[in-house]
Amino acid sequence: MNDMISVRGFVASEVKSSTTTRGTATASFRLGTTERRYDRATSTWVDGNTNWYTVQSFRFLAGHVGCSIKKGQRVLVMGRLRLRQWEHEGRVYHVAEIDAESVGHDLMWGSANFTRMNGTSAPADSAPPVEAPGTPDSNNEWDPEDQGTNPPEDVSIASTIDNPDGTGPLLVNTTTGELVGAGV
């Protein structure tokens, strides 16, 4: 199945970050979406069924999800839906997974502060001026605005993000999306 899906719900588990054997960063979490409807007989809102998804993210997105998304937060997820089933001890199990292309906070429930990462050692809004990739004086022909492509292997890129506890910046390996020096 290759269907795109957009889901609005709540993060029901802690984000699990890891790296594949080939060095690709991953982050996953469980997402719940509960139907709400108004019951005119009782003049109250009533919860309906809850649908459950496993949200999986990779590379840069995995690093951002690991740093930004926390259990209990309301989020929006857009990605490819995969429905899997398996059998164990005579029972058939089903799971709905979303390979996320975008994940963000649902601003209906709170506010957020966005920091764009620009591929340098600092966030985009506080980065010192640098020579733009692909300019005539640059030896690097990779354009970071080209979506769906990766930088050449010989280009070393690092970024920082603000530490949520306010103790200073965190260094992010933008090739894998992992925090540099973070314990596993």
Of 90, 112, 134, the last residue of a domain is: 112
Q: What is the pLDDT of residue 150?
A: 47
**In Å, how far are 13, 45, 76, 82, 170 from 177, measured between CA atoms?**
20, 41, 20, 23, 12
* Choice between 165 and 27, residue whose per-residue pLDDT is larger: 27
* Choice between 66 and 125, residue whose per-residue pLDDT is larger: 66
CATH number at residue 4: 2.40.50.140
Q: What is the pLDDT of residue 161?
A: 54
Of 58, 85, 112, the last residue of a domain is: 112
Q: Are residues 144 and 68 part of one domain?
A: no
Q: What is the pLDDT of residue 167?
A: 63
Q: State residue 61 phi and psi, 5-degree precision.
A: -60, -40
Q: Are residues 172 and 138 part of one domain?
A: yes
Of 112, 129, 164, the last residue of a domain is: 112
**In Å, how far are 15, 93, 125 from 166, measured between CA atoms?**
20, 43, 18
CA distance 31 to 11: 5
Q: Are residues 102 and 135 part of one domain?
A: no
Q: Are residues 170 and 99 part of one domain?
A: no
Left (φ > 0), alpha (ψ -120 to 50) or beta: where does 102 sit? beta
Q: Are residues 86 and 50 part of one domain?
A: yes
Q: What is the pLDDT of residue 32?
A: 95
Q: Are residues 49 and 121 part of one domain?
A: no
Q: Are residues 78 and 119 part of one domain?
A: no
Q: Are residues 92 and 28 part of one domain?
A: yes
Mean pLDDT computed over 135-141? 41
Lowest-pLDDT choice from 9-13, 60-64, 68-72, 113-117: 113-117
CB of 14 closer than 8 Å to CB of 55: no
pTM above 0.85, yes or no: no
Q: Are residues 80 and 149 part of one domain?
A: no
Mean pLDDT computed over 81-107? 92
Query: Domain range spanning residue 35?
Result: 1-112
Q: Are residues 16 and 32 part of one domain?
A: yes
CA distance 20 to 16: 13
Q: Indicate the number of domains in the chain.
A: 2
Residues above pLDDT 70, as percent of the chain: 62
Q: Are residues 55 and 133 part of one domain?
A: no
Helix%, strand%, coil% for the chain, nearest 5: 5, 45, 45
